[in-house]
Structures are given as C-alpha cells and as structure tokens.
Amino acid sequence: MSYRLPEHTRARYGLQASRRKQACDQNGGGHLICICRLKALLLYLYTDKIVFSPLKSQGPPRTDVETPNLSTSWPCSPKSMYRLASKIRVRLDSLRDQAFRAIRSGLGSENIFQELSSSFTSKYPAILQLNVEVLLQHIASVPVIQNIPSLLRRIIDSQLPHGADIVIGLY
C-alpha cells in the first residue's frame, strides 16, 4: 500500500516527484512512499531506533533470527532507507549511516556480485566503494574466484554502467 505525500510536504523535505509510479518493493525513488517505510521512518524520528530487513540477495530470512515485534518496529529495506535519507533535504545522516551499516553487514562472498551489479550500487558512490571493498576482502574465496570472470565479461560487454568504477576501485 502506498501513500502519495502532498506536494507541499514533498517540497519541504526535498522529495522530488518521479515520472513513473513505483511499487513499494521496487526502486522506491519516486513520489510514492511505501506505508511500511513511512512507519519505519516515523518510528525512527521518534525513537532513534530502526529495524532493517535482510538484503534480498541474502536469500530467504533465516529461521534462527528473532522476528521483530511488529507493534514496536516495522522492518524495512536498508536500501530504501538509504535512498530516502539521501533524498531528504534535511539530511538524516544518522539514519543513512545505520542503513549503510545494515547493507555492509548483509554483504558477503555469496551475494557481492549480485549487489555489485545492482542499479542501486551504481547510483551511490559510497555504496559502490563499500561493495568493491567487500569484493577485495573476499577475493580469495571460492564464490568470488568462480564469479570474477563473469563480472569482467559483463564489464567488457558494457552491461554495467558503473563497470569502469568497479575496475578503478579494484586498484
């Protein structure tokens, strides 16, 4: 479920309208705001606490992780919150930093190539740098060794608009 923020509210906080409507679980960069993301943001503004859901690239949620209490928290995508915090004129640096840490904790050798290939990574230099650092940390792991050739092929074939930045970051 999405709610369209009034024009004066979007203007006040620097949220720009998008030409196309987007669903809650998609890009999230438009003028529609997912109710769960809005609830999580409001809870954060009141309590300075936020619960992030795992990255989709991490696979299905683990069963050994405690489920958050939905009456006091609304888990949300760390990427969506990072995007939202980066767009608001009155910067929510603390929220953006917490989202950054949640993204960092979700990265590993198993999902780094999927994350490096995402359009989200291409839009935020700090996230791209983080992904490259994680790639370098896991450079000797089996999943990375197996997937480096396909990443390089995608870069050579111009399938990744930020491919040159990935290669530069490796040096």
What band does 158 get if pLDDT is binned at 50, 70 and 90? very high
Hey, what are 157's tokens? 């074939």
pTM of the entire predicted model:
0.63
More confident residue, 151 or 90: 151
Q: Would you say 112 and 138 are in contact if contact means Cβ atoms under 8 Å apart?
A: yes
Q: For residue 93, give the nearest of 79, 82, 105, 80 by alpha carbon.
A: 82
Residue 70 has pLDDT above 70, yes or no: no
pLDDT mean across residues, the chain:
80
pLDDT digits (tens, 9 = 90+) for 10-65: 555 555 544 323 344 444 444 456 788 888 888 888 888 898 999 999 887 666 55
pLDDT of res. 22:
38
pLDDT digits (tens, 9 = 90+) for 138-151: 999 999 999 999 99
Q: In Å, what is the CA distance from 126 to each residue of 68, 74, 122, 130? A: 28, 26, 10, 6
More confident residue, 70 or 7: 7
pLDDT of res. 135:
95
The C-alpha atoms of residue 107 and residue 75 are separated, in whole angstroms, by 18
